[in-house]
């Protein structure tokens, strides 16, 4: 006989420990489901609120004990059997047996399990093992710093923070409430006592006044002009203050050579970059700039889904970014990031202009510039002109990173490669 004791904590309750255990056990399935869900959201909606995700139930069952099917002796009593005896072989029913409206053509399928993750859990899974470089290098990765702010008064503090107005107000209120003798009253008694002493008249009145003066003097000493309980100090409390703000510029080529698949790859990359900045800063602005042979600042819907096409010039997009920075985002107050997605095509005559604008204007403003070259799954047959231009900037030591993406599976590896601190790279 075997006695089994279940010592699991709260096996039937949705406790935090059980939830964390479930996430660890089904992490691979949850990660896949989270990434599938994120692909259906807009850029700025990926990290908003809770999310219900569905994962295959296969592999989620907890270990259990059951009787072995190939050993032991079993006897079954089946009521209503009039056709078979012990040892007979029962043929499979022609309809497949069991219940249901029909079967799968290939005989395979899986049930799904719905699981709700919080916003923090969603983002932790979404960005697992990823870091944002350069922020650590420049010590700007913290969202906020500790400042001080007036928060009323306290009964203790340093002499430098003593609030004289509030202290004297408390002193006056206490002296009025306790009827502390005024100085003028004591001086008036002194003058009356002196007059009676010089005149020598009414000694009984003199003794009465002397006793009254002693009582007032004693009461004045017992009730000091300023008591320690009157003291009030200005109170300051630490408050979080944003030390920096961030703006991300998303530049995308929407010329005729950019297909919908290429735009989809660009959207996924921009989505990851935006959420990383959101987790590092209190205030994050996102600026969308699309360009053909002309460039304009647009909203997200237009940026990703507009069907406008045209020729290809890169320098107008860079000029538009410089204009927006000059008008709305002073470099001294904002951390400026930029991400550009293109298929690498550019008019040859525009390449020198783009190189000069990047080197002299854009890169000095940016803390980090990422260039993603998207293409079809068949791969790249030759190096594009824009790639050659940016490669010269990389050789010059400018803060620009370049990667190529040709399918969805490349997005996360490329993103990890771009945003992994140099000291953590193998």
DSSP state of 43: G
What pLDDT, in 10s, does the model give residues 67-126?
776 777 777 666 777 777 777 787 777 765 555 444 444 444 545 566 666 666 666 666
Range scoring the smallest mean pLDDT among 152-161, 281-290, 293-302: 281-290
Question: 322 pLDDT band (50/70/90 cuts)?
Answer: very high
Please report the pLDDT score of residue 362 as a whole number.
93
Please report the pLDDT score of residue 287 as a whole number.
92
Alpha carbons 73 and 86: distance in angstroms, whole number: 14
Range scoring the smallest mean pLDDT among 203-212, 239-248, 283-292, 335-344: 239-248
Q: Are 20 and 249 in contact (CB under 8 A)?
A: no
Question: 376 pLDDT band (50/70/90 cuts)?
Answer: confident
Residues of the chain above pLDDT 70, percent: 64
- Residue 359 burial by CB count (10 A; 0-12/13-18/19+): exposed, middle or buried? middle
CA distances for 50 relative to 21, 122, 139, 231, 297, angstroms: 19, 8, 31, 50, 31
Longest dimension (CA), the chain: 145
Residue 236: HSE in the Cβ half-sphere, 13 Å Cα cutoff: 12
What pLDDT, in 10s, does the model give residues 46-81?
555 555 666 666 555 666 777 776 777 777 666 777
Range scoring the smallest mean pLDDT among 4-18, 70-84, 114-128, 201-215: 4-18
Please report the pLDDT score of residue 143 as a whole number.
44
Select the more confidently predicted residue: 90 or 165.
165
Around Cβ 363, how many Cβ atoms within 10 Å? 17
Alpha carbons 193 and 190: distance in angstroms, whole number: 5
What is the residue-averaged pLDDT of the chain?
75
Cβ-based neighbours of 7, under 8 Å, separated by 6 or more:
none
Q: Which residues of 108-118 are buried (b: 16+ CB within 10 A; e: fewer)?
A: eeeeeeebebe
Please report the pLDDT score of residue 146 as a whole number.
62
Domains in the chain with CATH codes? 159-235 (no CATH), 245-424 (3.40.50.410)
Range scoring the smallest mean pLDDT among 3-7, 250-254, 353-357: 3-7
Select the highest-mean-pLDDT range: 123-137, 139-153, 159-173, 294-308. 159-173
CA angle 108, 112, 114 (to 5 degrees): 175
Please report the pLDDT score of residue 12 as a whole number.
47
Please report the pLDDT score of residue 165 as a whole number.
92
Please report the pLDDT score of residue 1 as a whole number.
56
């Amino acid at each position: 006989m075997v006695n089994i004791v279940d010592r699991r904590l709260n096996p039937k309750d949705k406790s935090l420990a059980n939830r964390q255990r479930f996430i660890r056990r089904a992490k691979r399935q949850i990660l896949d489901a989270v990434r599938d869900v994120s692909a259906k959201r807009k850029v700025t909606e990926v990290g908003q609120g809770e999310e219900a995700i569905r994962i295959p139930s296969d592999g989620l069952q907890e270990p259990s004990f059951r009787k072995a099917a190939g050993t032991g002796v079993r006897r079954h009593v089946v009521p209503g059997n009039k056709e078979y005896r012990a040892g007979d072989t029962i043929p499979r029913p022609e309809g497949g047996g069991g219940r249901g409206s029909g079967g799968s053509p290939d005989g395979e399928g899986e049930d799904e399990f719905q699981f709700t993750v919080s916003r923090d859990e969603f983002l932790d899974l979404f960005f697992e093992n990823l870091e944002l470089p350069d922020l650590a290098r420049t010590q700007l990765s913290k969202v906020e710093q500790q400042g001080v702010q007036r928060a009323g008064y306290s009964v203790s503090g340093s002499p430098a923070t003593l609030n004289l107005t509030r202290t004297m107000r408390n002193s006056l209120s206490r002296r009025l409430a306790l009827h502390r003798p005024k100085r003028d009253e004591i001086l008036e008694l002194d003058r009356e006592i002196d007059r009676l002493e010089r005149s020598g008249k009414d000694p009984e009145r003199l003794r009465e006044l002397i006793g009254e003066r002693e009582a007032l003097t004693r009461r004045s000493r017992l009730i000091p002009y300023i008591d320690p309980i009157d003291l009030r100090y200005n109170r300051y409390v630490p408050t979080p203050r944003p030390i920096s703000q961030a703006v991300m510029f998303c530049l995308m080529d929407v010329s005729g050579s950019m297909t919908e698949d290429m735009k989809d790859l660009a959207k996924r990359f921009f989505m990851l970059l935006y959420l990383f900045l959101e987790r590092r800063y209190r205030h994050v602005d996102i600026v969308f700039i699309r360009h053909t042979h002309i460039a304009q600042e647009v909203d997200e819907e237009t940026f990703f889904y507009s069907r406008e096409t045209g020729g290809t010039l890169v320098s107008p997009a860079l000029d538009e970014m410089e204009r927006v920075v000059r008008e709305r985002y002073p470099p001294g107050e904002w951390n400026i990031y930029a991400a550009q997605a293109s298929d690498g095509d550019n008019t040859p005559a525009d390449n020198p202009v783009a190189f000069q604008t990047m080197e002299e204007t854009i890169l000095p403003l940016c803390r980090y510039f990422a260039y993603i070259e998207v293409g079809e799954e068949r791969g790249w047959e030759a190096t594009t002109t824009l790639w050659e231009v940016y490669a010269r900037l990389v050789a010059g030591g400018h803060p620009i990173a370049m990667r190529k993406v040709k399918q969805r599976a490349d997005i996360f590896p490329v993103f990890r490669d771009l945003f992994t601190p140099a000291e953590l790279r193998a």
